[in-house]
Chain A
Amino acid sequence: MDVGTASMEDCAEPEVNAAVTPDRRVIELKGLVSAETVTPVIDQLQNAQPAEKLLIYIRANGGGEIRQLVLLIQALGTTQADVELAIGRYAMSAAATLWLWFLLDPIPGDDGVGRVVSVDPLKPAVLLFHRPRWPHASGGEYYCFYEDFEEESVRENLSKQVAIFDSLFERILALQGFGQVHAATVKHDGATYKHHLHFARDAYYGNNDYVISLNGVAA
Chain B
Amino acid sequence: MKSLVASELRAKIDESRKPNASCGKDFTLARVRSFQDADLKLQEACARLGIDKPHMIASH
The dominant DSSP class at the A interface is mixed
Complex contact A64–B57 (CB within 8 A): yes
Least Cβ–Cβ distance between B28 and chain A, in angstroms: 4
* Residues of A close to B52: CB separation below 8 A: 137
- CA separation between A120 and B9, bound complex, in Å? 11
- Does residue A22 face the partner (Cβ distance < 8 Å to B)? no
Least Cβ–Cβ distance between A124 and chain B, in angstroms: 7
Complex contact A103–B49 (CB within 8 A): no
- CA separation between A124 and B6, bound complex, in Å? 11
* Residues of B close to A161: CB separation below 8 A: 35, 38-39, 42, 56
Quick one: which of B1-53 are within 8 Å of A by CB?
1-7, 9-10, 12-13, 16, 23-25, 27-29, 31-32, 34-36, 38-39, 41-42, 45-46, 48-49, 51-52
Asked, given contacts A105-B28, A134-B54, A158-B54, whether A67 binds B39 with beta carbons under 8 Å apart, the answer is: yes
- CA separation between A209 and B60, bound complex, in Å? 10
Of the candidates A101, A128, A217, which one forms a contact with B60 in the assembled complex, judged by CB atoms under 8 Å apart?
A: A128
Complex contact A65–B6 (CB within 8 A): no
Complex contact B55–A134 (CB within 8 A): yes
Residues of A within 8 Å of B, CB-based: how many?
A: 64
Quick one: which of A97-120 are within 8 Å of B by CB?
97, 101-108, 114, 116, 118-120
Least Cβ–Cβ distance between B18 and chain A, in angstroms: 13
Complex contact A154–B46 (CB within 8 A): yes
* Residues of B close to A128: CB separation below 8 A: 60
- Does residue A164 face the partner (Cβ distance < 8 Å to B)? yes
* Residues of A close to B5: CB separation below 8 A: 120, 214-215, 217
Complex contact B23–A107 (CB within 8 A): yes
Q: Which of A106, A130, A217 has the most CB of B within 10 A?
A: A106
* Residues of B close to A107: CB separation below 8 A: 23-25, 28
* Residues of A close to B54: CB separation below 8 A: 134, 149, 154, 158
Least Cβ–Cβ distance between A113 and chain B, in angstroms: 11
* Residues of B close to A133: CB separation below 8 A: 56-58
- CA separation between A143 and B54, bound complex, in Å? 11
* Residues of A close to B55: CB separation below 8 A: 65, 67, 134-135
Q: Which of A78, A143, A151, A161 has the most CB of B within 10 A?
A: A161
* Residues of B close to A153: CB separation below 8 A: 45, 48-49
Give me the interface of B with A, judged by CB distance under 8 Å: 1-7, 9-10, 12-13, 16, 23-25, 27-29, 31-32, 34-36, 38-39, 41-42, 45-46, 48-49, 51-52, 54-60
